Amino acid sequence: MATISKTSKERRGFPDRWHGEWQDPQGDSNVSIIFNQTDEIGYGVKLHRHPYAETFIVRGGHVRFTMGDKIILASAGDILVAPANVPHSFENLGPDPLEMIDIHASPTFQTEWL
Look up the pTM and report it: 0.83
What's residue 15's pLDDT?
Answer: 54
Digit-coded pLDDT (tens) for 48-63: 999 999 999 999 999 9
Give CA–CA dist 61/6, Å, rounded: 26
If you average pLDDT over every residue of the chain, what do you get?
A: 87
> Which pLDDT band holds residue 22 (cuts at 50, 70, 90)?
confident
What's residue 19's pLDDT?
Answer: 63
Q: Are 97 and 35 in contact (CB under 8 A)?
A: no
Cis peptide before 95 (omega within 30 of 0): yes
